[in-house]
Structures are given as structure tokens and as C-alpha cells.
Amino acid sequence: MKKIMITGACGQIGSELVMKLRETYGTENVLATDIRKPAVQKGPFETLDVMDAKRMNDIAKDFGADTLMHMAALLSATAENNPLFAWNLNMGGLVNALEVAREQNLQFFTPSSIGAFGPSTPKNNTPQDTLQRPSTMYGVNKVAGELLCDYYFQRFGVDTRGVRFPGLISYVTPPGGGTTDYAVDIYYKAITEGKYTSYIAKDSYMDMMYMPDALQAIIDLMEADPAKLIHRNAFNVTAMSFEPEEIAASIRKHLPNFEMDYDVDPVRQAIADSWPDSIDASAAKEEWGFKAKYDLDAMTVDMLKKLQEKVIKSA
């Protein structure tokens, strides 16, 4: 049985990943760590600042980890507001985690992002291997991270694996500081207020994926036969690409009175404009069988149902 340690376990992906991994591998085999304590604690947890390399190493050793999933990172919009802090945290945390994996011979996962692409990248059906000259600090961190993970595999034989996630949509933990967060906020506001003001402009297409597909992708990649992996650390994965009017139209199929207007945020809009409109996930499909179950309408049905239940419960 695997023994998995996760950093950033209270974040948007981390909090759901911990639950999914505990269902799959057993509660006691998954150690959650984060700089802040979770609101509800139902399994092994340690407080950890990923900048503290020694503590990270000690915690992994004491737990007897064989796998490290490094999820702690600042997202694109927050990183743009404080680029130096983002560089220090995103790169410092990653190199500390890779060192733990190297010293203790752990299998390693960390997510990259569509943010690793930039304005000169082909915008449509963006290939797996292509130009990557991002114009954001987050993108610089992600490209450097992809290369660093490749380096740790080639130079030290660490079993590093990763995907380029698109915007992730979930009803469990709200995201914080991302450019794609509008596609989560819109569902909350549709339920609670019946209207939404989008900070992303009309016609701005970005790739997205529903969280259950993202979690399954992580497990499938980590379980994949290493002999089949050519692109270890930066597989393009996506389930859908849409712009604000399309997600609003999908919501209106269930809430016909839903209204949307725009108040575009120039910082997040510039980031969105620098990213691809849609990426090509065929390498992930060929090398480890990546498949997303949810398209936009299937996701909308589930999001609205789960959020309605959540709002009723908290009332």
C-alpha cells in the first residue's frame, strides 16, 4: 500500500485530493500537511511551511512516505501581485520537495498549468511540445518547475510526474488567487444571487476541467507504467474550453433567469489573454490513458445540484 504525503493539503486541489486518496489508499496512508490547520481534521495531519526544508524531510521520514505530492503554490493572479514572494515560495517550496524525494527515493507529483504557456504559444489545440515563453511570474515558475522535475528524473532518477492543469472547477473548496476562478464563482453566485459580474471578458476562451476528473488524472498518472511515459512532468490535460457567455448559457438551461454582466479586471484579463484558448491532450491520452468524464453541461448539472445542497445545509 502507498504512503502518500501531500503539501498544500488545505488548498483547492489539496483538500479534495486528500479525501480521494484516503478513499483509495486508506486514511492512515495519506498524510496531509499545510501551513494552516484544516477546519475539520479526520486523518493524519502535520503543520508544515514548505520553505522549511528540514521539517519537510523529517515529517516524510517519520511518516514513512513512499510518495510526495507537492501542491503548495501561489496561483497566477496572486503571484502577479507579489512576484518576488511567488518566486521564493513556488520555486523554494518545489526544490525543497524535490530534495526530499531525492533523499528518500519517493515517487513525486507536482502540477504544472496552462499558465506555463505564453502569448507566442500557438493558441488553438496547443501542442504538447511547443513554444513556452510565459509573460507572468506564475508561468515562469511553472516552466522552471517542469524543467526542474525533468532534471531530477534525468540526473537523480527521481520518479517525477506531472500535468499541466487547466482551470479546475469544484463545489468543495473555493479557489484563491487564480485567473480561472470566475468559472467557479459564477456557480456560487448563480445559486445565491441569480446574477454574476464577470472579471473575464466575453470571448476569452480558457481550458477547464471538473475536479473529479482532475483527481482521477493524478491517480491514473501516478499508477501509470513508467516505461510508457515519454512526457513525465508536463502532460497537457483538459476536458473543455469555454468563454464566459458559454458557461452562463449552460447555467441558464437550469436557472433561466440567471443574469451576467462584465467588469473586466485588467490584470486577470491580461493573464487570460496570454494563455491558450484550447490545448491538445493527446499525449496524456496515448501515454497513460487520460480521459475526462465531464463536459460543460454535465459539470453544470453536478455543480448546481451539489451547491444547492450545500447552501441549504448551511442556511
Tell me: does residue 137 bind ligand AKB (CB under 6 A).
no
Tell me: does residue 237 bind ligand AKB (CB under 6 A).
no
Q: What is the 3-state secondary structure (H, E, C) of 180-212?
A: CCHHHHHHHHHHHCCEEEECCCCCCCEEEEEHH
Cβ distance to ligand AKB smaller for residue 32 or 208: 208
Cβ distance to ligand AKB smaller for residue 31 or 218: 218
Cβ distance to ligand AKB smaller for residue 63 or 199: 199
Q: What does the alpha-carbon distance between residue 88 and residue 6 come to, in Å, rounded to a whole number?
A: 20
Query: Which of 13, 86, 114, 292 is close enough to bind ligand AKB by CB under 6 A?
Result: 114
Cβ distance to ligand AKB smaller for residue 100 or 168: 168
Tell me: does residue 9 bind ligand AKB (CB under 6 A).
no
Query: Which of 11, 14, 93, 115 is close enough to bind ligand AKB by CB under 6 A?
Result: 115
Contact pattern from residue 142 through residue 181 relative to ligand AKB, giving x for each residue in contact according to CB under 6 A and a dash for the rest:
-----------------------xxx----------xxx-
Least distance from C-beta 71 to ligand AKB, angstroms?
A: 12
Identified catalytic residue from 138, 171, 182, 199: 138
Alpha-carbon radius of gyration of the chain:
19
Annotated active-site residue 138? The verdict is: yes
Tell me: does residue 71 bind ligand AKB (CB under 6 A).
no
Tell me: does residue 126 bind ligand AKB (CB under 6 A).
no
Q: Which stretch binds ligand AKB (CB under 6 A): 112-120, 196-204, 255-263, 288-296?
A: 112-120
Query: Which of 10, 21, 60, 75 is close enough to bind ligand AKB by CB under 6 A?
Result: 75
Tell me: does residue 118 bind ligand AKB (CB under 6 A).
no
Residues involved in catalysis: 138
Where on the chain is the footprint of ligand AKB (CB under 6 A)? 75-76, 113-115, 165-167, 178-180
